Every structure is written in structure tokens, then in C-alpha cells.
A and B are shown apart, each in its own frame.
Chain A
Amino acid sequence: MKNKKEFAAIITEAGNSIKNKTGSWRTMKPIVLKNKCTACGICAKFCPDGAIIIKNKKMSVDYEHCKGCAICSVECPSHSIIMKEEKK
């Protein structure tokens, strides 16, 4: 066993799935209404993809990984996320 990788299917890089851009799956795109959003973070906890980033009390969407499930839009208490059709 010269190389650890030959021994078994070992993945040595943690969290490298981030290279997989799942944003291409999306048909509906979440748009944040910045004047309404309070950055409470409820959407961030309920996002299955971890695609909502809250930084310095501001919320933004990681469109490279968002799959467009719209859970954030339904669960937002201030109704500040709307869904629009994805255009390319």
C-alpha cells in the first residue's frame, strides 16, 4: 500500500461537494426583497442545501447551489422571499 488512496475509496478533502454546482437544477429562483428582510435566519435553518448565507446581519442566496425548492419563501415570516421563473 504505497498510496492511501489505493487501499480503499478514501476521500481526503472535507466538504469538497461544494464543487458540485447544484444551482443548475433550479427552475424557480428565490429573490430577496431587501427592504422587507430582517435577517432572522429562519430560512437559513430550513434550507436543505445550506444555500442561504447570513453575514453581517444581511441575508443573501448562494445561487450556485440553490435548487429552488422554495421552502425559504413559504417559511419566511416577513414574506420577503418571492419566487420567479428561472431565465437563462
Chain B
Amino acid sequence: MKENEKERFMPGHGACAGCGAAIAMRAIGRAAGKNSILTIATGCMEVVSTAYPLTAWKLPIIHSAFENAAATASGIAAALKHQKKKTNVIAIAGDGGVFDIGLQALSGALERGHKFLFICYDNEAYANTGVQRSGATPLGAVTTTTPAGKHDSIEFKKNMPFIVASHAGTYVATANIAFIDDFENKIKKALQSGKPSYIQVFTPCTIGWHINNNDTIRLSKLAYQTNIYPLFEIENGIIKLMENTSKIPIENYLNMQGRFKNLGKKEISEIQKDVDKNYELLKSLNGKKIFLN
């Protein structure tokens, strides 16, 4: 059972079949090691993993309210600093708990420079409460609060990694569950760096995005190949882009998902233009110092 000793997110949790975020949680458990304390904000992964009196975690975990995962983590980090203990502190929250509700607590904790890692599993909606639009929902996506027609999501996705990287002395990375070893390495790197860190991981939601249960990883791979979710790291203000040479049109990614069914050819070509512009910008910045800290 050598392989299974590393597992710290155990079977029996209540996530949907084919859940992307559950794959990310397992990777976090493996990469963090047993010398870790977790705090999870309200959201899918808090609800499915710790339904009283059962817990899927083999690590100590504190349940935070929706907005204050970062505040709880900074409290844990401060207490450990006082006790002179070297324990990893990891806060986990969904995109709703980071992009919208938890933003000010996260900003405060990063600004104070607490040694902790904040992981955002980005499923691009409030999936736990029935798929409402969040700050992470991309342009054109259908959610229950942005139904198809003239009301579908007309807002762009918030550029959260750059907002976090604007804080001095942070390590920021984006990850994808299709590249699970890369994600684990980024977690280890963030924990070893001793800086306030932020990792945003792309995790498809089968129910919210109207995809087949078995398409989770295939879709994640396409998100990287079509450049809609570029992978990069920002360390010491320098951005490093994981370059992508496969030029797959965005149509392949959008057509797999029911939430983009309402889009016509015109809208798809507009999204393609936006994605290309964004990727070209990132490519021109690659290797350069973009933040002075």
C-alpha cells in the first residue's frame, strides 16, 4: 500500500462523479505532506469533504466562512510563527470565495506577508449553490443567473492571478488538473518558497458546465491547448509562460460544453479574437519583469 500512504484526501467524499475539483484536492493532499494544516472556505470542496461526522481529509482542517479563509490562514500562520513551528498552512477556496467574496481577506493576508499558500479551485461559477455566475465566469457562459439569450454572461473573467501578483513578495501560478504533476510541483515550490503564495487551478464542473462525466480531463487539456486558460508563474515580479504550440481553435473547447450552446459563429469568432489577443500579450511579456517587487 505504498502508493496509497501518500493519499490524504480519502474516498467516500460526496463530490459528483467526474468532479474536477476532487482531483485537485487529491493532488493537494499528496503534495502538501502530513506536516500541514488546512482551512477551507465554504464551497463545494468544504461541503463534500467534511459532512459531519465524517471527514475525507487525513490532515487537520478548519472550516472557514465564505469570506475569511485567508484570515483564518493568517491566524494559523501567526500562531505557528509564535510557536516557532515549521508547518505548511494551506487555505483552499473556490472561485466564488476568492474572486468575489474572499478578495479583501486574501488581499489583507498577502499584504501582511503571512507564510501561507492559497489555492483557488476555479470552476467558473458558484457550483455548490446551483451554478450562479461568479467573477470567474467567462464571457458568453450560461449559468442559472445568466440564462441563455440576451442575458448570458456579458462580463469578462476577472484576471485574478495578476491582481494577486500586484501584492509585494508573492508567488503566483496557474495550474490545470490535466497536468497533475505540474500542479503538485507548483504546490511544493510554493510551500518551499516561504512566501505568501497563490495557485489557481482549472477544475471543470460536470453539472455546471453540462459536460459528460468522463470529459473532465479531456476538456482541461483542451483549455490549455486552445489558450483560453494559459499556464504561467509569476515569481519576484517576473512572468514565466508555459508556451503552447498547438493551435487548436476555441470552437473545439466551447462545443464540448452545454453552457456555451447558445453561442453563434459570430460570438465564437469574437471569443477567439479575445483569446488570441490575451495569449499574444502574455507571450510578449514572457520572461520580463512586470511587477516592481
Q: Is the pairing of A and B real?
A: yes
Which of B27, B55, B180, B213 is within 8 Å of A17, CB to CB? B55
With a cutoff of 8 Å between Cβ atoms, the chain A residues found around residue B58 in the complex are 14-15
CA distance A62 to B9 in the complex (A): 15
A31 at the interface (CB under 8 A from B): no
Pick the interface stretch among B45-53, B125-133, B188-196.
B45-53
A33 at the interface (CB under 8 A from B): no
Known: A9-B52, A11-B55, A74-B214. A49 touches B3 (CB 8 A): no
Known: A11-B52, A19-B54, A67-B17. A73 touches B11 (CB 8 A): no
Q: How far is the CB of B191 from chain A (nearest CB, A)?
A: 20
Q: Would you call A17 and B56 a contact (CB within 8 A)?
A: yes
Q: Would you call A50 and B26 a contact (CB within 8 A)?
A: yes
Q: How far is the CB of A66 from chain B (nearest CB, A)?
A: 8
CA distance A20 to B180 in the complex (A): 26
**Chain B contact patch, size range:** 35 or more
B14 at the interface (CB under 8 A from A): yes
Which of B18, B53, B55 is within 8 Å of A48, CB to CB? B18
CA distance A46 to B49 in the complex (A): 18
Task: Mark each residue of chain B from 20 to 35: 1 if its CB lies under 8 Å from any CB of chain A, else 0.
Answer: 1011001100000000
A34 at the interface (CB under 8 A from B): no
Q: Would you call A62 and B11 a contact (CB within 8 A)?
A: yes
Q: Would you call A16 and B17 a contact (CB within 8 A)?
A: no
CA distance A47 to B7 in the complex (A): 12
Q: Would you call B215 and A50 a contact (CB within 8 A)?
A: no
Which of A11, A22, A46, A73 is within 8 Å of B12, CB to CB? A22
Determine the main DSSP class of B at the interface with A.
loop
Residues from 57 to 86 in B contacting A, C-beta threshold 8 Å: 57-59
A84 at the interface (CB under 8 A from B): no
Known: A11-B53, A74-B218. A48 touches B15 (CB 8 A): yes
Known: A14-B55, A15-B58, A71-B213. A20 touches B14 (CB 8 A): yes
B225 at the interface (CB under 8 A from A): no
Known: A11-B53, A15-B57, A16-B54. A53 touches B12 (CB 8 A): no
CA distance A46 to B11 in the complex (A): 13
With a cutoff of 8 Å between Cβ atoms, the chain A residues found around residue B181 in the complex are 45
Q: How far is the CB of B161 from chain A (nearest CB, A)?
A: 24
Q: Would you call B17 and A73 a contact (CB within 8 A)?
A: no
With a cutoff of 8 Å between Cβ atoms, the chain B residues found around residue A18 in the complex are 10-12
CA distance A45 to B23 in the complex (A): 8
CA distance A53 to B98 in the complex (A): 34
Q: How far is the CB of B283 from chain A (nearest CB, A)?
A: 29
Q: Would you call A21 and B12 a contact (CB within 8 A)?
A: yes
Which of A11, A41, A45, A50 is within 8 Å of B9, CB to CB? A50
With a cutoff of 8 Å between Cβ atoms, the chain A residues found around residue B49 in the complex are 17
Q: How far is the CB of B90 from chain A (nearest CB, A)?
A: 16
CA distance A26 to B16 in the complex (A): 11
A75 at the interface (CB under 8 A from B): yes
Q: Which of A45, A51, A64 has the most CB of B within 10 A?
A: A45
Residues from 190 to 248 in B contacting A, C-beta threshold 8 Å: 206, 213-218
Which of B16, B50, B215 is within 8 Å of A11, CB to CB? B50
Q: Which 9 A-B pairs give the minimum distances between C-beta atoms?
A: A69-B18, A65-B11, A17-B12, A70-B214, A48-B22, A20-B12, A67-B17, A69-B17, A17-B56
